């Protein structure tokens, strides 16, 4: 899991590569490096953040890399770019070369000297072995020998071109005038061009100053449309917020609104299925759990929700099911593996993703795009509420198509959904109140989140956000389960965050709040109901919404609570330790 970039043109390659790497940093940040052609290939790479690089050379052609270690610990020698024995060829790689041991042994027997512990280094030596004065030819021969996942860019000291290839790791091309770019993600070059081509698995790309050519692995030329990116680089920057995460939390009204608008025009949702299997990881999994409650409520059909890493290895099952994959990045390896399996099982497949042309879109039959814009903070926020918006819309449409709800209820639900951006705005104004609570809980060792029914996944999401960025131990529980064990952990002063919307579980939630309060817990109640104030130590009022939509407002409070707790503790909020934005390894 890494970010790669390549540039060829007339600008300072050093500047383009370093600025691009900074924007790719969310993909990994344990080491970084650049290689620039300038009377040979000059390389600067080291362990640590991009800022540590001391690039005192320049040119107009180069490649760069920001790394999240998989093979080989984060050390200078394992940082990319990696070279062949003579330093004439340099490569950057994102992914895993599964047959690297076999290739390494063969190459070592032929005399190649390996300097790193990475799987990627075999690519440079393979190219060296196959090179006969033409990088392009060597690249085509090399690519056929690789097994695994990769986005690769390669350069040669004596040639003015970049060769790149994609297999199960993202790669996009930026088209300029007398300059071209290749990168793992669009923001890396968006300040220079908004004309992009999204590469598909099994494609090779040749970039020179004046042209970009796409081929399949057999060398056949492929036509590819150039798309215009509508969002600007400002969208991908912090716009004055202290962290991307905070900016992204505040972008939620727009993210939900734009997602809904794109869906309102879709009339291709007439699917035949009698069961839904939702598969995802992390925050997307929590969106899937909310989806289960919505679909069971509105469609009265069974919905199973799986962690992708579990679904991948379950026995094959015959089912008239819709398999729905939720992944904001569209690149999560576990989710892609699960989608592949669902296709093999013959299930109808659909994905919800935020990234145009991401890998998941090649694995499924139908795609619903969320329109949250790029999410840079490792902690998912706006993509989560945008995923929820898609799930609600999908379920409401299905309920109408199947005659499960009449026109009146349909309109009521759609109107309720349309108002969500405004309800989120009215929740965001509670920030100062939330900061006060964050100050208190930032001193605690454990935090519990409890809720029932459709808000139970929101309790899980609140706990995930809290542990992910504040590093405080946090657990989410269905409130009714407390008495079966977790209640033993509640003692004087332990914070319990309780979500209490006015739904059919409201009275039960009040009982659970009283239960933990009686054991001395410091209870923060999140509810639209004034009455809740009587039973809790602190009450955060949220806007009134129809209970089925309450996850939208509740999750915003929990995101802000986690954010401010982490900020008070001085954590690296956008880049929490040990994590990366898209997890492209199993
Ligand atoms: O890109 P995906 O939605 O597939 O990512 C899934 C998880 O890795 C992701 O949601 C992760 O849990 C987030 N860091 C949570 O904030």
How far is the C-alpha of 155 from the C-alpha of 206, rounded, in Å? 11
Buried b (16+ CB within 10 A) or exposed e, 64-103: bbbbbbbebebeebbbbbbbbbeebbbbbbbbbbeebeeb
Is 497 touching ligand 1 by the criterion CB < 6 Å?
no
Is 97 touching ligand 1 by the criterion CB < 6 Å?
no
The pLDDT of residue 356 is: 76
Is 335 touching ligand 1 by the criterion CB < 6 Å?
yes
* Per-residue pLDDT of the chain in tens (586 residues, 90 and over written 9): 689 999 999 999 999 999 999 988 877 778 999 999 999 999 999 998 899 999 999 999 999 999 877 677 778 999 999 999 999 999 999 988 989 999 999 999 999 999 999 999 999 999 999 999 999 999 999 999 999 989 999 999 999 999 999 998 889 999 999 999 999 999 999 999 999 999 999 999 999 999 999 999 999 999 999 999 877 776 667 767 899 999 999 999 989 998 998 898 777 788 899 999 999 999 999 999 999 999 999 999 999 999 999 998 888 877 789 999 999 999 999 999 999 999 999 999 999 999 877 889 999 999 999 988 888 899 999 999 999 999 999 999 999 999 999 999 999 999 999 999 999 999 999 999 999 999 999 999 999 999 999 999 999 999 999 999 999 999 999 999 998 998 899 999 999 999 999 999 999 999 999 999 999 999 999 999 999 999 999 999 999 999 999 999 999 999 999 999 999 999 999 999 988 877 877 7
* Partner residues linked to 34 by β-bridges: 44, 64
Query: Where are the chain's structural domains?
Result: 3-234, 238-418, 430-575
Phi and psi at residue 279, to the nearest 5°? -130, 130
How far is the C-alpha of 185 from the C-alpha of 330, rounded, in Å? 12
How far is the C-alpha of 73 from the C-alpha of 67, rounded, in Å? 11
Lateral strand order in the sheet of 180-183: 41-47, 31-37, 61-67, 3-8, 180-183, 172-175, 195-198, 227-228
Structure tokens at 407: 């026109």
Cα torsion at 477, 478, 482, 487 (round to 10°)? 20
Is 157 touching ligand 1 by the criterion CB < 6 Å?
no
The pLDDT of residue 265 is: 76
Give distance in angstroms: CA of 470 to centre of ligand 1: 17
Q: Which of 310, 345, 305, 344 is nearest to 325 (CA)?
A: 305
The pLDDT of residue 6 is: 98
Is 256 touching ligand 1 by the criterion CB < 6 Å?
no
Instruction: List the CATH code of the domain at 430-575.
Output: 3.40.50.10490
DSSP calls for 531-564: GGGGGSSEEEE-----GGGHHHHHHHHHHHHHHH
Superfamily name and number for 238-418: Glucose-6-phosphate isomerase like protein; domain 1 (3.40.50.10490)
Superfamily name and number for 3-234: Aminohydrolase, N-terminal nucleophile (Ntn) domain (3.60.20.10)
Structure tokens at 233: 């680089």
The pLDDT of residue 433 is: 96
Give distance in angstroms: CA of 330 to centre of ligand 1: 10
Q: Which of 2, 341, 400, 423 is catalytic?
A: 2
Instruction: Determine whether 238 is an active site residue.
Output: no
**SS3 annotation, 170-229:** CCEEEECCCCEEEECCHHHCCCCCCEEEECCCCEEEEECCCCEEEEECCCCEECCCCEEC
The pLDDT of residue 507 is: 97
- SS3 of 429, please? coil
Instruction: Give, using CA atoms, the residue closest to atom 7 of ligand 1.
Output: 282
Same fold, 3-234 and 238-418: no
CA 23 to chain centre: 15
Instruction: Determine whether 581 is an active site residue.
Output: yes
Pocket probe mutation, ligand 1, options 169, 243, 283, max atoms within 8 Å of Cβ: 283
The pLDDT of residue 584 is: 78
> Rounded to 5 degrees, what angle do the CA atoms 41, 47, 48 make?
120
Q: Which of 336, 324, 334 is nearest to 279 (CA)?
A: 324
Ligand 1, atom nearest to 468 Cα: 16
The pLDDT of residue 238 is: 76
Give distance in angstroms: CA of 497 to centre of ligand 1: 23
Instruction: Give, using CA atoms, the residue closest to atom 11 of ligand 1.
Output: 282
Work out the number of other CB atoms within 10 angstroms of the CB of residue 38.
16
Structure tokens at 567: 């900020």
> Rounded to 5 degrees, what angle do the CA atoms 132, 138, 140 make?
150
The pLDDT of residue 27 is: 76
Query: What predicted TM-score, i.e. pTM, was given to this entire model?
Result: 0.76
The pLDDT of residue 517 is: 96
Report the DSSP pairing between strands 203-207 and 41-47: unpaired
């Amino acid at each position: 899991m890494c970010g790669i970039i390549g540039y060829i043109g007339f600008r300072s390659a050093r500047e383009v590569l370093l600025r691009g790497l900074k924007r790719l940093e969310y993909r990994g940040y344990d080491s970084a490096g650049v290689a620039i052609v300038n009377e040979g290939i000059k390389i600067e790479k080291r362990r640590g953040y991009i800022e540590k690089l001391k690039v005192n050379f320049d040119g107009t052609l180069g490649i760069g890399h920001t790394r999240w270690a998989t093979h080989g610990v984060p050390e200078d020698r394992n940082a990319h770019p990696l070279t062949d024995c003579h330093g004439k060829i340099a490569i950057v790689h994102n992914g895993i070369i599964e047959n690297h041991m076999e290739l390494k042994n063969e190459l070592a027997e032929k005399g190649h000297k390996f300097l790193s512990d990475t799987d990627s280094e075999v690519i440079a030596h393979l190219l060296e072995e196959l090179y006969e004065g033409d990088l392009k030819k060597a690249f085509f021969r090399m690519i056929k020998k690789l097994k695994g996942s990769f986005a690769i860019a390669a350069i040669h000291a004596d040639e003015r071109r970049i060769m790149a290839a994609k297999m199960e790791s993202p790669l996009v091309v930026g088209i300029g005038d007398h300059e071209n770019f290749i990168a793992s993600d669009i923001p890396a070059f968006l300040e220079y061009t908004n004309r992009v081509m999204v590469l598909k698995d099994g494609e090779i790309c040749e970039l020179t100053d004046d042209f970009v050519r796409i081929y399949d692995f057999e060398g056949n030329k492929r036509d590819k449309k150039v798309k215009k990116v509508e969002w600007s680089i400002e969208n991908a920057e912090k716009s004055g917020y202290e962290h991307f995460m905070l900016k992204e939390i505040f972008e939620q009204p727009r993210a939900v609104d734009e997602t809904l608008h794109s869906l309102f025009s879709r009339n291709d949702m007439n699917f035949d299925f009698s069961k839904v299997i939702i598969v995802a990881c992390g925050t997307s999994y929590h969106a899937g759990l909310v989806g289960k409650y919505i679909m069971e409520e509105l469609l009265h059909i069974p919905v199973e929700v799986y962690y992708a890493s579990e679904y991948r290895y379950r026995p094959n099952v015959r089912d008239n099911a819709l398999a729905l994959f939720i992944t904001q990045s569209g690149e999560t390896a576990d989710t892609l593996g699960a989608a592949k399996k669902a296709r093999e099982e013959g299930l109808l497949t659909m994905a919800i993703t935020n990234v145009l042309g991401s890998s998941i879109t090649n694995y499924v039959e139908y795609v619903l795009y969320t329109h949250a814009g790029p999410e840079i903070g490792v902690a998912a926020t706006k993509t989560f509420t945008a995923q929820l918006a898609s799930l609600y819309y999908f379920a409401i449409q299905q309920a109408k198509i199947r005659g499960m709800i009449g026109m009146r209820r349909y309109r009521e639900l759609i109107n309720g959904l349309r108002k969500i951006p405004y309800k989120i705005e009215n929740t965001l104004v509670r920030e100062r109140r939330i900061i006060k609570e964050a100050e208190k809980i930032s001193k605690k060792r454990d935090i519990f989140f409890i809720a029932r029914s459709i808000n139970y996944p929101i309790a899980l999401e609140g706990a995930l956000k809290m542990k992910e960025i504040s590093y405080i131990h946090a657990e989410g529980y269905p409130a009714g389960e407390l008495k079966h064990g977790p209640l033993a952990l509640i003692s004087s002063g332990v914070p319990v965050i309780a979500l209490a919307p006015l739904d059919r579980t409201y009275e039960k939630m009040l009982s659970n709040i009283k239960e933990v309060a009686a054991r001395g817990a410091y209870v923060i109640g999140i509810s639209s109901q004034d009455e809740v104030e009587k039973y809790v130590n602190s009450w955060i009022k949220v806007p009134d919404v129809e209970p089925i939509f309450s996850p939208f407002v509740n999750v915003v409070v929990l995101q802000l609570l986690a954010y401010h707790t982490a900020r008070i503790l001085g954590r690296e909020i956008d880049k929490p330790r040990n994590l990366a934005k898209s997890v492209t390894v199993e």
